[in-house]
Structure 1
């Protein structure tokens, strides 16, 4: 709301210095700082409330031995992230922007779906939480709304069903009538992928922060006509406003990492992972960079692929030989490395390094074409 307040003061009274609130870079910085401070303020309060409410993360019996000491750690800490993102976005972003409306819608709805899932698992003690088809319905609903908005709204009219082909110059891919189903698939896939990645202290949130730093640059240049023309990428007027949201997410992520780093004081749960994964997918779709997801979100892609390979190979060998066999010692793949004897912090840091490399490759794809 401060965006409109300072804009009004600047237009009516024109005091010196107030013009700075028009700039995306300044508002993004304020958004990140606000989110970080807000997460430090509400984090201990939410963690204390979760502890008193006995909202404990269930531990898999077949998981790594080291994870048994995590029993009793509160979950649903994604609430810290959600509140710390939404508040600064409402304060510093242009909330009339279609880009901001859509990303807030997706984040809130998927966060709610994750919250219900966590609540049923840890409070109501239902082992499977929210029934899979209901969770899928929530993801499909978000994908349907976002896909329809991008396909039909005038902001996206010129490139409504198109996306950028990484490493190819002056060549876009047009999904045509399959665009909305494609959006549904992407949002479902990215939200589940981050959920699968959230298995080690600090892994999912740290990876998301790195990805979002790269995505902030992508959003800024996509919404800037000069940079978009120089890089020869799709120019989307107004898309730069997403930078304010991304900055808030980075600030909130850093604040949450303070509590989630090894040994974690709180886990984000599905409340955080579904919201963050869905937000990532929605922004890539709106910015027309969805085919870049397997690179920029390479760790999430790898984690998901490891689970798919493990399940398919197990079913295949069980059907053919009567006994299921595994490719990995345990899936998702971060657990495979734990079973090999790697320490948890070492796995997390190495996955961070891989993500940084993939982020750099993603950004260089704008010029190496």
Structure 2
């Protein structure tokens, strides 16, 4: 609640400041966005509102010695700076390309490397494994947790018996070195997840309220996972790993979701402010690192299905375009990419000499309806992800 109030109060004042300083959207391309001409002049870098509204309550109320909370703060500041640098180049240097992609990747990989290594080295980053014990009289399986906390390479994987995957088992080919190889695989996976999810959120940020609303829904689901993982009785009932200290993640996620809702007050259609890369990269990184800490990173393809589809649509579009270019043919799969742009692209905006594999939709959908439909899909995906706690 505190973060929501900060976001709403600070947001109004920050928007006025940005307008006064003319820190506004100037590079909107109306040929891509049929409503783009209405968005030129809207303040950008609104991700600062989300960052401030998230960090202030955490710095006031959080247990700053908690390793998980420290990692979340580092993630927020790190990617906030990276995204802010990108927005600065776009707005003040009048370069719509912003920070070069290779530098973004270096920043994301660097953060993933830090998170992975810290989780490996920190003595506080431990779990208590769940063990099924059969009662002799009733033959009922009761889940208990080991008394000792241990470092673990296990992660939750949905729809599989046992519900866990051990990275070291994947690396069993290395024999007695499989544990070390497993940790290397874990660090690599951390880098991949941080990079993929932060870029997915960045691509999803293309319509008023789209990324903020979608991410708030994802945040609620992650908050539920963090809460049950931090409670030994709930973790035993759901047969998942108990993660001591992860209760601080619940505090952080609550602040994060509150900040997003407060920001959405101004970012919903018609937007009074855009979050920019300052917000979208930070949001994706927070989601990724939180999932990694609570050993739920392999559930992100379901939970963040919208991000995954957005990223996949761009990769397929680029691949198909380059394939045609080698043959001297202009071709694309979708009208536009990311996929949300396809639904608002008019026939008059299509290239006359380009072949489109998928020509639909015939009718343009207004962005507010596209946004709400993406929210609905995310709610369904979040519900499916939570249900996996009991489906084995």
Q: TM-score, normalised by structure 1?
A: 0.89
Is the Cα–Cα contact under 8 Å of residues 198 and 288 in structure 2 kept in the other structure? yes
- 1:163/1:289 contact within 8 Å kept: yes
Q: Distance in 1 between matches of 2:300 and 2:212?
A: 17
Secondary structure class of the residue paired with 2:343: helix
Give the 5 Å matches for 1:288-303: 288-303=295-310
Secondary structure in structure 2 of the residue aligned to 1:81: helix
In structure 2, runs of 5+ residues without a counterpart are 127-149, 168-181, 346-360
Structure 1: any 5+ residue segments left out of the alignment?
A: 1-32
Q: 2:228, 2:234 within 8 Å by CA — same for their partners in 1? A: yes
CA deviation vs aligned residue, 1:192-220 (integer Å, no higher than 9, x gap): 11000000000000001111111111000
Q: Does 1:156 align with 2:125?
A: yes
The answer to whether 1:36 aligns with 2:4 is yes
In the other structure, the counterpart of 1:21 is none
Q: Deviations over 1:246-291 (max 9, x none)?
A: 0001111111000000000000000000101000000010010001
More helix by share: 1
Root-mean-square deviation (CA, aligned residues, Å) is: 1.2
Work out whether residues 227 and 250 of structure 2, in 8 Å CA contact, stay in contact via their aligned partners in 1.
yes
Quote the offset at 1:61 in angstroms: 4.8
Match of 1:348 among 350, 353, 371: 371
Larger radius of gyration: 2
Alignment of 1:81-100 (within 5 A): 81-100=50-69
Aligned residues: 336
Partner of 2:155: helix, strand, or coil? strand
- Give the 3-state SS of the residue equivalent to 2:158 in structure 1: coil
Say if 2:267 and 2:273, in contact at 8 Å, map to a contact too. yes
Shift, 1:79, TM fit: 0.5
Q: Which residue of 1 aligns with 2:383?
A: 360
Hey, what's the Cα distance between the residues in 2 that align with 1:127 and 1:210? 30
Q: CA deviation at 1:62?
A: 3.3
Find 1:326's aligned residue among 322, 332, 356. 332
In 1, Cα distance between equivalents of 2:59 and 2:125: 23
Aligned-partner SS, 2:344: helix
SS of the residue 2:125 aligns to: helix
Contact 1:152-1:160 within 8 A present in 2 as well: no
Equivalent position SS for 1:65: coil
> Aligned-pair distance for 1:40?
1.6
- Residue 192 (structure 1) aligned with residue 195 (structure 2): no
- Correspondence for 1:56: 24
Q: Deviations over 1:70-129 (max 9, x none)?
A: 111110000110000000111222121111000110111000100011001111212321
Deviation at 1:155, TM superposition (A): 2.7
CA contact (8 A) 1:236 1:287 kept: yes
Query: What is the CA-CA distance between 1:169 and the residue it aligns to?
Result: 3.4
Q: Residue 316 of structure 2 corresponds to which residue in structure 1?
A: 309
> For residue 26 of structure 1, what is the aligned residue in structure 2?
none
CA distance in 2, matches of 1:287, 1:138: 23
Distance 1:53 1:142 in 2: 32
Checking the alignment, whether the CA contact within 8 Å between 2:30 and 2:36 is kept in structure 1 is: no
SS in 2 for 1:154: coil
